Amino acid sequence: MNKIAKYLNQHLTGNVFDREEILHKYATDRSILRIMPQMVVIPESTNDVRRVVRFVNQLAIKGVKLGLYTRGSGLDATGADLGKDIVLSTEKLNKIQEIDEHARLVRVQAGCTLGQLNSALSLLGLTIPIKADPRETIGGLISNFKSDDYGGKYNGIYYFVDCIETVVSTGDIVQTGRYSKRAIDRKRGLTSFEGSIYRDLSGLIETQFDLVSDIRRRRTIDSAGYQMVTQVFREKGRTFDLMPIFYAAQGTLGIITEVILRCEVLPSHKKRFAVAFSDANELTKFAQTAQGFDPLEMNLYDARIFSAAAETGKDPAIFNKKFENGYVLLLSFDNNARKNKKKIAKLIKSLPETAAAVVETAENESDFARIDTAIKSYLNDDVHGERMPLVDDFYVSAQKLPEFLVSLREQEEAYDMALPISGSIATGNYSLRPELVMNTVAGRQFVVKFLREFDSLLSVYEGSLTGGSAEGRVKAIVTNQNLSDAEFELYSRIKKIFDPNDIFAPDIKLGTEIKAVVKALRTSSLDDIA
């Protein structure tokens, strides 16, 4: 065991590992990258996290640089939880600390998973209404700011978080809160590192007010850089809250250790129905109508996804061949049974004659279950198969979607590659899973080419490569080039305020270099799950 790992093991309740068989497990995530760390730290308390951060920061002050990368469930699709130095896993920081069912508040450690939390809340008739992989950690949902399919109705994770506890680069704990101007003046007067954060960040926003305002006014949704700085001053500048800055920061500003969330009452009914369209314009016109009925989710799937799944034996067989080159819209509602039925009946009446609809009933539940199975089969989220995430979570507005889909088909012809789209019309966030050949030089070059050209296509339609989650390493090779000099400087100064010695994920987001990313591309897509 190396000296640093041994030293940390002597001072932590948790464990530090440097054995190759363990490091291998933490060298991959859901991205197309593979990076072997020197050490993996698995803390069992916030104090463990503080000790590790303080130690790494002190080494940095002495000129010994070790990057510290935070990992939750290892489901990141951008490579942000991978690193060549120290990976800190929050898997043991997974406790539900307390639930106040009357106030509908819950306090959890950052490594608690969404599935674990909602299972506990359901016993009290409560829920966090987020549609995401149940293995996702609460800290990961915040750090990646990943859009979810329920976000059109419930506004996503951002709406449900009241407070974040973060270990900053000195090893100190900072708890966020919404402070008035008078309270902020007190914070700015503190002699601690927390005080310097409040002084420097508020001062930076004030001096760069015009730039921050320009970023806030943009129509395109984008999580690249630290664009959530636009939300730090809230209620028209009357309050100041650090919490937004940690969204989409991907562990580059600090390590989230605890979160307080607000809950909703668990819906008693859920009703789904599927609609098939042969024409994208008719689909988007109907979706605009459906949006007025406040659906829980409204997801779009290229029908070729089901055709591909059928080849593996996962055919939902819910629509005929007429729609095999069209699109399927899967909607759901979570009102009471009577209201759900009424809404669906009205929507079916508004359908064009060329569409076909199937409503979920007790008799066809298995058909809808096969739809879910077919989607999972195509996306292969549970294995590192041939369709790995490359351009998941990009943004295109509903208004631009029909034109974008036409151009996407043209790009398919240019690449001689099928690019079936899936995603949420309600949030405007979509994904493509191109089949990648990673064991050739040409294949790895294609990854970079595809990212750049797809980003250019999105820009034509006012879209964004990072509309539904942060950029990490993979997308950063494109998004960093899209930032103006002024914007890159603004975000660099934010990073410096929180992490002056650059210990937190130094080569993530702004620090990404294309050569390093290309070098880290997997030569095989069949690694074991991280």
10-residue stretch averages of pLDDT, the chain, 530 residues long: 92 96 95 96 98 98 97 95 98 98 97 98 97 96 95 95 98 95 92 96 95 90 94 82 97 98 93 92 94 95 86 75 85 94 94 91 86 83 63 94 95 92 95 84 89 96 95 96 96 98 97 94 57
The per-residue pLDDT for 389 is 85
Cα 414 → chain centroid = 30
Is residue 334 located within the same domain as residue 430?
A: no
In this structure, what DSSP letter does residue 494 have? H
The per-residue pLDDT for 212 is 95
The residue out of 219, 250, 265 marking a domain boundary is 265
CATH number of the structural domain spanning residue 117:
3.30.465.10
In a domain, 29, yes or no: no
CATH number of the structural domain spanning residue 296:
3.30.70.2190
| Tokens at 364, concatenated | 């066809």
Residue type, 57: N
Is residue 366 located within the same domain as residue 413?
A: no
| 487 neighbors 215 (Cβ within 8 angstroms) | yes
Is residue 190 located within the same domain as residue 297?
A: no
Is residue 253 located within the same domain as residue 275?
A: no
- Of 470, 500, 504, 293, the closest CA to residue 394 belongs to 470
In a domain, 477, yes or no: yes
CA–CA distance, 352 with 368 (Å, rounded to integer): 22
The residue out of 324, 358, 379 marking a domain boundary is 379
- Its pTM surpasses 0.85: yes
Is residue 431 located within the same domain as residue 371?
A: no
- Of 299, 286, 363, 285, the closest CA to residue 332 belongs to 299
Structural domain that includes position 154: 96-265
In a domain, 33, yes or no: no
HEC states along 20-37? HHHHHHCCECCCCEECCC
CA–CA distance, 286 with 356 (Å, rounded to integer): 12
| Tokens at 142, concatenated | 């915040």
**Under DSSP, is residue 377 helix (H, G, I), strand (E, B) or coil?**
helix
Is residue 402 located within the same domain as residue 333?
A: no
In a domain, 87, yes or no: no
Please state the domain count of the chain.
3
Is residue 309 located within the same domain as residue 216?
A: no
In this structure, what DSSP letter does residue 137 have? B
Is residue 260 located within the same domain as residue 285?
A: no
| 35 neighbors 64 (Cβ within 8 angstroms) | no
In a domain, 20, yes or no: no
The per-residue pLDDT for 526 is 43
- Of 177, 46, 160, 150, the closest CA to residue 105 belongs to 160
Is residue 352 located within the same domain as residue 251?
A: no
| 282 neighbors 355 (Cβ within 8 angstroms) | yes
Is residue 184 located within the same domain as residue 305?
A: no
φ and ψ of 266, to 5 deg: -70, 120
The per-residue pLDDT for 523 is 78
The per-residue pLDDT for 320 is 65
Q: Angle at Cα 45 formed by Cα 41 and Cα 48, nearest 5°? A: 50
The per-residue pLDDT for 338 is 93
In a domain, 350, yes or no: yes
Within 10 angstroms of residue 294's Cβ, the number of other Cβ atoms is 14
As a residue count, the chain comes to 530
Is residue 242 located within the same domain as residue 328?
A: no
In a domain, 166, yes or no: yes
In a domain, 118, yes or no: yes
**Under DSSP, is residue 272 helix (H, G, I), strand (E, B) or coil?**
strand
The residue out of 214, 248, 265 marking a domain boundary is 265
Is residue 133 located within the same domain as residue 216?
A: yes
The per-residue pLDDT for 529 is 39
